Amino acid sequence: MKVDNLIIGAGIAGITLARRIAEEKNESVLLVEKRNHIGGYCYDYRDLEGILIHKYGPHIFRTDNTKVYEFLSRFTDWYDYQHKVLTYVGGHYYPMPINLDTVNNYLNTNYSSADVIEYFDSTRVKIDAPKNVEEVITSQVGKEFYNQFFKNYTEKQWGVDPSKLPPEIVARIPIRANRDDRYFSCRYQGIPIQGYTQMLQNMIDHKKISVLLNYNFYNHRDEIDAVNVYCSAPIDEFYEYRFGSLPYRCVSFKFERHNVEKYQPVSVVNYPNENAYTRITEFKYFTNHQSKNTVIAKEYPSGEGDPSYPIPLKENIKLYEKYNELAKEESVTFIGRLGTYKYYSMDQIVDEMVEMKL
Ligand code: UDP
């Protein structure tokens, strides 16, 4: 089979790139995907009652990047959703990220914003340049809030002690002294009104793009003759693990249907401490879906399953760099979270793809 461009993996990275190549270069693009659906981890589908279910966990699109937002907006309208998260600690729900109400409810105080700033100033561990997750959080809020709200969640999520993890992991989580209870404060935020799958399907609806599903590239390596190769699958797998496996964190989901209109007060509740799962997502909130029943998913991180999160430890990045050297020699371009071994959010991935020099 001869094509101008081969893209391995039909997730948001591969599909964004496919669309650009087709439109801007007018070249043929073949997307090959091992799963039976497009969309990668953004894939969503409708359940019996029409609730849009995010099969691989909650995906909330947000960005400050106008170019990224405008690019995707060609293919979808947005449901204007503001993400709110609660965290369940000691039998109570608290706003997450930590804000004025979290502090007052947890400490049973009536602090003003100025009081909270003063309180954290007295409890914070004095570190000027935090070097890991533990230091980032304790240097802002002190040990008590760190232990209750971050320590166990992070350990469970990443399978690594937070003192070993780099600061970027929690960079997206602010600490607030006001009552803002939004999870993200980006300029643009929303959920594709017909779902991510439909948005991505609209992107690949182009005469120059074809897609093969249920197609494991590694079983057909020699059958495709492509001028350019892009890969959003794990880079270590592409090179047959010749330097060893890159560690990834995996997540699995236990879906439950409940005969109640609402199961929990917001779309996502975090469970940092007692439970094996990190969070419970109730999907109907994402598009304000009205139905008698509801669907939730409990999220369990583990070391086994399909790779989901790259684990950005120094030694892992070093190993990734070794693979990346091979990539440079062979003129294969790696893209997306798994191809570049980066803890990217959706907008960062789309940004890379819209800015990539073709
Ligand atoms: N985090 C935490 N407690 C929480 C929420 C987040 O300790 O209640 C930390 C944890 O290390 C997590 C990181 O912050 O991996 C980023 O959280 P986010 O919800 O953005 O993660 P994602 O949705 O990408 O899994």
Radius of gyration of the chain from its Cα atoms, rounded to whole angstroms:
21
- CA-closest residue to ligand 1 atom 7: 150
Specify the DSSP element, H or E, that contains 88: strand 85-89
Region class of 343: left (phi > 0), else alpha (psi between -120 and 50), else beta: beta
Task: Kindly state the average pLDDT of the residues 52-56.
Answer: 98
Smallest CA separation from ligand 1 atom 24, residue:
345
Alpha-carbon gap, residue 46 to 28, rounded angstroms: 31
Per-residue pLDDT band at 307 (split at 50, 70, 90): very high
For a ligand 1 pocket test, name from 89, 149, 157, 253 the mutation site with the most ligand atoms within 8 angstroms of its C-beta.
157
User: Using CA atoms, how far apart are residues 83 and 268, in angstroms rounded to an integer?
Assistant: 8
Q: Is the pTM of this model over 0.75?
A: yes
Which atom of ligand 1 sits closest to the CA of residue 96? 8
What rounded mean pLDDT belongs to the chain? Answer: 97
Give residue 11 CA to ligand 1 midpoint distance, Å: 22
Give pLDDT tens digits for 55-67: 999 999 999 999 9
d(CA 17, CA 10) in angstroms, rounded, equals: 10
* Nearest protein CA to atom 3 of ligand 1, as residue: 150
Element (H, E) at 31: strand 29-32
Pocket test for ligand 1, best of 84, 150, 156 (most atoms within 8 A of CB): 150
In sequence order, the 6+-apart residues with CB closer than 8 A to the CB of 126 are 139
Q: Which structure tokens are listed for 42?
A: 């953004």
- Count of residues for the chain? 358
Q: What is the pLDDT of residue 222?
A: 87
Average pLDDT over residues 208-237: 96
Average pLDDT, integer, range 202-227: 96
pLDDT at 172: 85
pLDDT band at 353 (very low <50, low <70, confident <90, very high): very high
Taking only the tens place, the pLDDT of each residue in 228-263 is: 999 999 999 999 999 999 999 999 999 999 999 999
Cα 270 to ligand 1 centroid, rounded to whole Å: 9
Residue 213 CA to ligand 1 centre (angstroms): 32
Which protein residue's CA is at the shortest distance from atom 16 of ligand 1?
170
Give 3 Cα–ligand 1 centroid separation in angstroms: 41
DSSP H helical ranges for the chain? 12-25, 66-73, 100-107, 113-123, 133-141, 143-145, 152-158, 168-171, 196-204, 235-238, 314-330, 336-339, 346-355
| Cα 170 to ligand 1 centroid, rounded to whole Å | 7
Residue 97: cis peptide before it, omega within 30 degrees of 0: yes
The reply to whether ligand 1 has any atom less than 6 angstroms from the CB of 172 is yes
| Residue 127 structure tokens | 């570190």
Residue 3: pLDDT band with limits 50, 70, 90: very high
Residue 261 alpha carbon to ligand 1 centre in Å: 27
Q: Ligand 1 in contact with 88 (CB < 6 A)?
A: no
306 forms bridges with which residues in the sheet?
Answer: none
Whether the pLDDT of residue 221 is over 90: the answer is: no
pLDDT of residue 77: 98
pLDDT given for residue 21 in this prediction: 98
| pLDDT at res. 113 | 98
* Per-residue confidence (pLDDT) for residue 331, from 0 to 100: 80
Model confidence at 330, pLDDT cuts 50, 70, 90, reads confident
Residue 153 has pLDDT above 90, yes or no: yes
> Do the beta carbons of residue 60 and residue 83 sit within 8 Å?
yes
Pocket test for ligand 1, best of 85, 160, 170, 347 (most atoms within 8 A of CB): 170
Measured from the Cα of 58, ligand 1's closest atom is 23
Looking at residue 93, its pLDDT comes to 98
**Residue 96 near ligand 1, beta carbon < 6 Å:** yes
Mutate to test the pocket of ligand 1, among 154, 172, 189 (most ligand atoms within 8 A of CB): 154
Q: Is 270 in the pocket of ligand 1 (CB under 6 A)?
A: yes
CA distances from 112 to 16, 51, 261 (A): 46, 40, 36
Average pLDDT over residues 342-355: 97
The finding on whether 86 has its CB within 6 A of some atom of ligand 1 is: no
Contact 261, 292 (CB under 8 A): yes
Tell whether the model's pLDDT for residue 130 goes beyond 90: yes
Mean pLDDT of 177-198: 97
Whether 149 is in the pocket of ligand 1, judged by its Cβ within 6 Å, is: yes
